[in-house]
């Protein structure tokens, strides 16, 4: 795929565009959201391009599980496990997904309402 046609998160993973990276390993990258919806708002993404939840294959199960492990490790490192945090996946149009490279939102630093808007 031509670089210009690649999704924005693939470009961040390839360091073609900048991001405030908070964690990187072989299979995942975590970085601060450009338009934060809470005092702490990070995104955890697989390095493999998977568009959405329905793009997950049997072979991806370990990678997807790893995203949760990374999220909880970051949350614990930042002490967010004390106060709480919210993890969100927006999947598809009605959920407001805007970037079609699967990602976990990790939000913290304020109370969150339920049900979500």
Catalytic residues: 103
Query: Using CB distances below 5 to 8 A depending on partner kind, what does residue 67 bind out of ligand AMP, Zn ion, none?
Result: none
CB count within 10 Å of CB 1 equals 8
Query: Using CB distances below 5 to 8 A depending on partner kind, what does residue 101 bind out of Zn ion, ligand AMP, none?
Result: Zn ion
Neighbour-count burial for 72-95, b at 16+ CB within 10 Å, e otherwise: eebbeebebeeeebbebebeeeee
Binding site for ligand AMP (CB under 6 A): 8, 19, 31, 33-35, 43, 90, 96-99
Tell whether residue 10 is a contact of Zn ion (CB under 5 A): yes
* Single residue of 29, 43, 101, 107 touching Zn ion by CB under 5 A: 101
């Amino acid at each position: 795929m031509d670089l210009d046609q690649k999704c924005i998160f693939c470009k961040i993973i390839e360091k073609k565009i900048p991001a405030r990276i908070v964690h990187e390993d072989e299979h995942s990258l975590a970085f601060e959201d450009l338009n934060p919806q809470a005092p702490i708002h990070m995104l955890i993404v697989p390095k493999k391009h998977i568009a959405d939840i329905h793009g997950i294959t049997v072979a991806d199960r370990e990678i997807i599980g790893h995203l949760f492990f990374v999220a909880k490790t970051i949350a614990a490192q930042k002490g967010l496990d004390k106060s709480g945090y919210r993890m969100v996946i927006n999947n598809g149009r009605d959920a407001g997904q805007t970037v079609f490279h699967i990602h976990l939102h990790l939000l913290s630093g304020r109370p969150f309402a339920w049900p979500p808007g």
